[in-house]
Structure 1
Amino acid sequence: MPVATDFYEALGVAKTASADEIQRAYRKLARQLHPDVNSEPGAEERFKEISEAYEVLSDPAQRAKYDRFGADFRRVPDDVDERVYAGAGGRGGGRGGGRVRHARAGPGFGDGFDSGFGGGFDGVDVEDLLGGFFRNRGSGGPVAGADQEAELELAVEEAYRGGRRRVSFAGAGERGYDVDIPAGVVDGQRIRLAGQGGRASGNAPPGDLYLVVRIKPHPRYRLSGRDITVELPVSPWEAALGATVPVPTPGGEVKVRVVPGSSTGRRLRLRGEGLPNPKGTPGDLYAEVRVLVPKKLGERERALFEELAAVSDFDPRRT
């Protein structure tokens, strides 16, 4: 892996990055590069680099000093006169900088490796960040279990009505769970199973398991948030004259009034017939008109259509 030449480059952030942006960048890289989860050549070296970069950039005073003096910032006294330092050949600006050095080594991470920063800095606890990877590694104290995620596929009808369901995941050691699915869950919603995530060490609590809802494509229904769209096939005479016709919904069949003169594509709104919302307004259901004609005409039907064609001055290409 390439070696960064600048603390900002090491974390992949701009020099104007906020403290939150720096923290998020470090957490993301730490999950990818920690030696307990990444055995690629150079991963350990990069982890040390990002750890040192975060130690410096997460401390406002150290960051300001690094921005002024670059790679030499540690050799510059706190009370230095910048003009004197520059005149003596010092370098500032934090732009060239030397190579990011390795973090100090010491006990704490197991296998003789440590970030050198006591397991966390300024709001980011590395052991909490990677909790599940530290069990059985002799970290010296209780370590909380890591939170975990798994996808839960649901049919539209299941998302609509909710209920209790038994699920299991291969990635969770084939463990089974009884899950209470709230009525009206939407795609991307997370269902929390407290204490069912990564195991902890000592007396620390286990992590949580989050089930991310993924609603499967449906041959009839299209979802947009809580709103549902369904095609509504109608005959030419129903479309022209109007009619009351049944519409299938995940909650059962309802009736809708097709207004006279409806063409394909017209949307009829059924308020509140979409996905339920336990905390607010339910979604709506839209019945989208689709005018269908008979594939084969009987003798009488053909005569009637011919009569209609003869008397009507309707031209859909000029409408």
Structure 2
Amino acid sequence: MAATDFKDYYAILGVNKTASADEIKKAYRKLARQYHPDMNPGDKSAEARFKEVSEAYEVLSDSDKRQKYDQFGQYWKQAGSGGWPSGAGTDFGGFDFSQYGSFDDFINELLGRFGGAPAGGGRRTYSYRPGGSSPFGGFGGFQDASGFDDSMSAGTDLESTLSLTLSEAFRGVQKRLNLGGEVIDVRIPPGAKPKSRIRVKGKGQASPYTQQRGDLYLNVEIQSHPFFKFEGDNLVCEVPIAPDEAVLGGSIEVPTPDGNVTMNIPAGIRSGQTLRLRGKGWSKPKGDCGDQLVRIVIVAPPELSATEREYYEKIRSSRTFDPRSNLKRVSL
């Protein structure tokens, strides 16, 4: 066989031939993170390198496969230097390597590919699975037909929905959650917003191979409130005012998450106009608050006293302002 057939898996992982299982695993995880397709979208060379690193790890992380690989390496060195005539049977510990025409033939059978009998396992056919679980927080991985995923060594990330009241989200809260019989306490920091995503490290599903656990991600939903609402990142409310307040202006009390504050209404304000209360809005991670937007709605009184009606009629009879004067110029 050609000398270029052989792949030095130790060199691929950057470890010595005497490396321990932990050293091999550590080297694999570092390289898998570096060359993972989700970290290098569209980079075919990185994808090929990731496959090569994964193949090297699968062989060297299994003691039986590693032993056969090391024995084959000895055979390749001697056969490549003319140590045996072509076709001669060469036995290393009861294993005849001369039956393989190339290194790929040997690896395909060792890993159970292309119909070859696996060395103690099921047949594996690799295919890239975008978006799958991995030890790097949600990257895809190479998955075989038997369900084994080279990137699942740290377990699977889980997601769940967490419903909070507006008060809990604003001030922060500690929640007790039941995860399939496991009870955990989770601290929700102040300022959670709708669609916020909170990571709880090490509380995901355990890997069946290493028992290491992924992470739990909590998707925040905030219960509706009769007064406060979110519009994007802004906290918004609607405040009604009377017609005389709109005309003359004045001061009114407005609720905020931290209590009522006094807000000045400018004379002549229009219905639908928005005023800003600086620093009275939603909590921020650094401890300060954003702004609260106050949308003004002018509301006519549903009922009038005799005195109110008298004065409104006087206003109407003496009013010089025509709010519809511009409509006289409207035409098709």
TM-score (norm 2): 0.55
State the AA in 1 paired with 2:202: G
Answer yes or no: is 1:316 the counterpart of 2:327. Answer: no
Question: How far 1:125 sits from its partner (Å)?
Answer: 9.1
Counterpart pick for 1:286 among 293, 301, 313: 293
User: Counterparts of 2:290 and 2:225 in 1: how far apart (Å)?
Assistant: 17
User: Equivalences for 1:61-80 in 2 at 5 Å?
Assistant: none
State the AA in 2 paired with 1:250: P
Counterpart pick for 1:230 among 219, 233, 237: 237
Aligned to 2:199: 192
User: Counterparts of 1:139 and 1:162 in 2: how far apart (Å)?
Assistant: 38
Aligned to 2:125: 115
TM-score (norm 1): 0.57
Answer yes or no: is 1:160 the counterpart of 2:149. Answer: no
User: Counterparts of 1:111 and 1:272 in 2: how far apart (Å)?
Assistant: 63
Question: How far 1:291 sits from its partner (Å)?
Answer: 0.7
Aligned to 1:270: 277
Q: 1:254 to 1:144 in 2, by over 3 A?
A: same
Counterpart pick for 1:58 among 29, 37, 47: 47
User: Equivalences for 1:165-180 in 2 at 5 Å?
Assistant: 165-168=175-178, 172-173=179-180, 175-180=182-187
User: Counterparts of 1:139 and 1:58 in 2: how far apart (Å)?
Assistant: 16
- Would you say the 8 A contact 1:222–1:228 is kept in 2? yes
User: Equivalences for 1:1-319 in 2 at 5 Å?
Assistant: 23-24=37-38, 58-59=47-48, 104=114, 112-116=122-126, 128=135, 143-168=153-178, 172-173=179-180, 175-201=182-208, 203-279=210-286, 282-318=289-325
Residues 257-299 of structure 1 show CA distances to partners (whole Å, capped at 9, x for unaligned) of 1111112111110112111112386321011110111111111
Unaligned runs of 5+ in 2: 1-33, 52-112, 327-332
- Aligned CA-pair RMSD: 4.3
- The more displaced of 282-291 and 155-164 is 155-164
State the AA in 1 paired with 2:289: P
Q: 1:190 to 1:107 in 2, by over 3 A?
A: farther
In the alignment of these two chains, the number of paired residues is 223
- Would you say the 8 A contact 1:226–1:276 is kept in 2? no
User: Counterparts of 1:245 and 1:113 in 2: how far apart (Å)?
Assistant: 75
User: Counterparts of 1:195 and 1:281 in 2: how far apart (Å)?
Assistant: 30
User: Counterparts of 2:260 and 2:202 in 1: how far apart (Å)?
Assistant: 40
- Would you say the 8 A contact 2:276–2:291 is kept in 1? yes
Residues 220-255 of structure 1 show CA distances to partners (whole Å, capped at 9, x for unaligned) of 222134321100111111111112111122222222
User: Counterparts of 1:24 and 1:106 in 2: how far apart (Å)?
Assistant: 31
- Would you say the 8 A contact 1:226–1:284 is kept in 2? no
User: Counterparts of 1:155 and 1:312 in 2: how far apart (Å)?
Assistant: 48
